[in-house]
Structure 1
Amino acid sequence: MGGSARFLVRRLLRGLLTLWFAATVTFLLLRLLPGDPALAVADPAMTEELYADLLRDYGLDKSLPVQYWHFLAQLAQGNLGVSFRQNQPVLDILLERLPWTLLLAGSALLVTVAVGIPLGVLAATRAKGWLDRLVQVGGVTGQSLFVPSVGVLLLYLFGVRFGLLPIGGAMDDDVTGLTAWASIGRHLVLPCLSLVLVQLGSYVLTLRSTLIEALGEDYCRLARAKGLPNRRVVWRHALRNALLPTTTLVGLQLGFLVGGAVLTESIYAYPGVGRAVYDAVAQLDFPVLQGAFIMLAFTVIVANLVTDIAYGVLDPRVRAS
């Protein structure tokens, strides 16, 4: 087996182990939640016999180890169970909402990279100047922000105070064609901006630091000595190597985006997986919670796997490690 194949196999095995660990922790933590999920959907006048039947239908009458084994067996078959409240397969419920979450997280990631690279380059090429100091202050400030606080502030300013953007949902009713896409874009602005403001700082500061280091390397000095314009040295030579560490950061930030989407979607009533988690917590809907957390974990694991592979392609030394 070649080095590339071993590298890929190791990453796949690590991803599967991480998914199993995430599923196990999710299963155990949900069983520690206060309250009885059967009582949340039961009729107050229900007899003890009917209540026992309800527990049996939900599989809650069995011991915890038996429930865990049944949970893993279903998960291995791609079965996330049936919602207690909606009486529908959890997978169907989440697959209907997943595209909205991916749209939100993907848009925030693209905006972060598109804005972060120019800002990082400007700060690095003007190190210790006023623009560099301004970027550093903004980056540190962004890292200290909290998603719900930013979301509520933006919601009040642009949605309530000035009425410039929608305050909830993913699109207007009864719209089609280009009008529908325009509506989706308008509803996406505030949730996306909330996530971008919180994560942009770390990306810019990391890129700035790695680019300053790259510009001090011998190959950049040699390129300048050969008479290459500084702009070409920065964008064609130094930036390529400076982006290697930020490739890993992008994968980590996707995990943050997925986690931050739970809070953001709750604030803006955005119909993604995060909103499903918020509703399921209030309803003690174990299958939906389990399925949502596992799906989010799987999304992050796949993103990190793709990031590792991309890093291995960009830097062959990673594949040999």
Structure 2
Amino acid sequence: MSAGIRFVVRRLLRGLLTMWFAVTVTFFLLRLLPGDPALAIADPGMTEELRADLLRDYGLDRPLGVQYWEYLTQLAQGNLGVSFRQNQPVLDILLERLPWTLLLAGSALAVTVALGIPLGVAAATRAKGTLDRLIQVGGITGQSLFVPSIGVFLLYVFGVQFGLLPIGGAIDDDVYGLAAWASIAQHLVLPCLSLVLVQLGSYVLTLRSTLIDALGEDYCTLARAKGVPERRVVWRHALRNALLPTTTLVGLQLGFLVGGAVLTESIYAYPGVGRSIFEAVGQLDFPVLQGAFLMLAFAVIVANLLTDIAYGLLDPRVRTA
């Protein structure tokens, strides 16, 4: 077996172990939430007999160990359970909302990378200059922002005060064709901008630091001695090595996007998986909470797996680690 295949297999096994750990922690932590899950199924004034019947029907009267084993068995069959509140398969509920979360997270990540690379290069190639200092101040300021704070601020300024953008939802009612796409884009601006402003700073500052180090390496000095233009030294030689740490950062930022999506989607009433988590917490809807957490955990694990593989492609030395 080649080193590359062994590298991928190790990462896959690590991902499966991480997923099992996420399943286990999620299952038991949710059972520690205060409140009676039976209240999410029926009226609070129900009799004790009816409450017992409901708990038995949903398997909530059994020992935790039995519930856990049955949940793993159902999960292996692709069954995430049935929502207490909506009385629908959890998988159907989440698959309906997943595209909105993927659109938000993917857009925020794409914009972050598209802006972060030129800003990082500009700061590194003008180190200690005015532009570099301005970019550093902006990056540090962005890192200090809190998603709910910036979300409420943007919502008030652009949505309420000036009325330039929608203040909630993902698409207007009764729109079709190009008008529907335009509506989706308008509703996406503020949630996406909230996430980009918070994470862009760390990406730019990391790329700036690694690129400055790369530009001082011997291979860049040798390239300059051979008469290679500075622009080509930066973009062709130094940037590839500088992107190695930022490739890992992109994978970590996806985890942040997943966590930030819960807050962002709640602020903007964006109908994604994060919004489902927010709604299910108040309803003690265990199946929806479990399914949503596992879906987000799976997305993070896959993103980190792809990041590891991309890192291995950029630096073959990693494959033997």
Q: Is TM (by shorter chain) over 0.5?
A: yes
Given that 2:120 and 2:208 are in contact with CA atoms closer than 8 Å, whether structure 1 keeps it comes out as yes
Partner AA of 1:171 in structure 2: I
Residues 80 and 90 of structure 2 are in contact (CA less than 8 Å); yes or no, is this contact kept in structure 1?
A: yes
- What percent identity do the matched residue pairs reach? 85
Partner of 2:51: 51
Tell me the equivalent position of 1:316: 316
AA at the equivalent of 1:291: G
1:319 maps to amino acid: R
Paired residue for 1:294?
294
Residue of structure 2 in register with 1:252 after alignment: 252
Output one character per residue of 1:25-73: Cα deviation in whole Å (capped at 9) or x when no partner.
Answer: 1111111100011123322443322221100111101011111111111
Tell me if structure 1 keeps the 8 A contact 2:155–2:190.
Answer: yes
C-alpha separation in 2, matches of 1:41 and 1:4: 50
Question: Which deviates further from its counterpart, 132-141 or 47-56?
Answer: 47-56
Match of 2:19 in 1: 19
Q: Matches of 2:40 and 2:117 in 1, distance apart?
A: 49
What is the alpha-carbon distance in structure 2 between the residues aligned to residue 89 and residue 269 of structure 1? 22
Does residue 179 (structure 1) correspond to residue 174 (structure 2)? The answer is no
In 1, Cα distance between the equivalents of 2:274 and 2:75? Answer: 20
* Aligned-partner Cα distance in 1 for 2:137–2:233: 27
Which amino acid is the alignment partner of residue 77 of structure 1? Q
Q: Secondary structure at the match of 2:55?
A: helix
Q: Please give the residue correspondences for 1:8-157 in structure 2 after superposition, counting only pairs within 5 Å.
A: 8-157=8-157
Q: Deviations over 1:206-249 (max 9, x none)?
A: 00000000000011111111111111111111111111111111
Tell me the TM-score normalized by structure 1. 0.99
Counterpart of 2:304 in structure 1 is 304
Higher mean C-alpha displacement, 308-317 vs 34-43: 34-43
SS across alignment from 2:46: coil
Runs of 4 or more off by more than 6 Å in structure 1? Answer: none
- Report the equivalent of 2:188: 188
Structure 2 SS opposite 1:86: coil
Which amino acid is 1:81 matched to? G
Deviation (angstroms), 1:74? 1.2
Which one-letter code corresponds to 1:74 in the other structure? Q
Matched residues in 1 for 2:45 and 2:217: separation?
76
Alignment match, 1:203: 203
Deviations for 1:122-158, whole angstroms, at most 9, x for unmatched residues? 0000000111111111111111111000100000000
1:256-298 per-residue CA deviation (whole Å, 9 max, x = no partner) reads: 0011000000000000000000000011100000000000000
* Cα separation, 2, equivalents of 1:99 and 1:308: 25
Q: Is the 8 A contact 2:40 2:84 kept in 1?
A: no
The answer (yes or no) to whether the contact 2:80–2:291 under 8 Å persists in 1 is yes
Q: What is the alpha-carbon distance in structure 1 between the residues aligned to residue 87 and residue 167 of structure 2?
A: 30
Deviates more, 1:83-92 or 1:36-45: 36-45
Mapped to 1, the partners of 2:231 and 2:174 lie a distance apart of: 50
Match of 2:155, as an amino acid? L
For 1:242, give the aligned amino acid: A
State the SS of the aligned residue for 1:276.
Answer: helix
For the 8 Å contact 2:90–2:287, the answer to whether it is kept is yes
Kindly tell me: are residues 82 and 210 of structure 1, through their superposed partners in 2, closer, same or farther at Cα, counting changes over 3 Å? Answer: same
Gaps of 5+ in 2: none
Q: Alpha-carbon deviations, 1:175-209, whole Å to 9, x = none?
A: 11111000000000000000000000000000000
CA spacing shift, 1:118–1:44, aligned 2, 3 Å: closer
Please tell me the residue identity of whatever aligns with 1:273. V
Letter in 2 for 1:311: Y
